[in-house]
Amino acid sequence: MIDLTLTESDQRRFFTKFRVGDECWEWTGTKTRGYGYFYLRSRNVRAHRVSYEYFVGPIPAGLTLDHLCRNPACVRPDHLEPVTQQENLLRGDTLTARSASKTHCPQGHPYQGDNLVVYEQEGRRRCRECQREQSYRRHHGLPKDAPVPARAYTKRRKS
């Protein structure tokens, strides 16, 4: 980890690189993919990390900063919260977050209880009812969109 402590000269440079607005403190310096970068000790470091460490203190080990305002160019410290990488991904507008927020499969079956199949190693989940229907169609040689009789499968009862 790079030391993000600012010298007096660094502080003067840093404070000229953002504009304080009503909501966000918008980074006006160098940006890459929306995130501000500040040149410090021969390296480019993310400006929001510098801001957080300057105004709040060290970022706890193992955590990353989440922009609560959803603006990656914001360096306002009270808009930044240390969270796990997983929490940060789930809060954002990412494929992971969109998938995790779904409560029903594309056919409308709920992702809960006995109808939920989780593949932890692959990091995905499936709908048990859709799996049953797919298996029924495959077993009977039916096309993918063919209707399946209700309760095509039932649990086998032990004798």
User: Which pLDDT tens digit goes with each residue over 53-75?
Assistant: 999 999 999 999 999 999 999 99
Contacts of 70 (CB under 8 A, 6+ apart): 92, 93
Q: Tens digit of pLDDT per residue, the chain (159 long)?
A: 678 889 999 999 999 999 999 999 999 999 999 999 999 999 999 999 999 999 999 999 999 999 999 999 999 999 999 999 888 888 887 777 788 788 898 888 898 888 888 887 877 888 898 888 899 999 999 998 888 887 645 566 665
**What pLDDT, on a 0 to 100 scale, did the predictor assign at position 25?**
97
The CATH number assigned to the domain with range 8-91 reads 3.90.75.20
**CB 45, CB 2: distance < 8 Å:** yes
**CB 128, CB 116: distance < 8 Å:** yes
User: Which pLDDT tens digit goes with each residue over 12-25?
Assistant: 999 999 999 999 99
Q: What is the DSSP string of 35-104?
A: EEEEEETTEEEEHHHHHHHHHT-PPPTT-EEEETTS-TTB--GGGEEEE-HHHHHHHSSSHHHHHHH--B
The segment(s) of the chain belonging to CATH 3.90.75.20 are 8-91
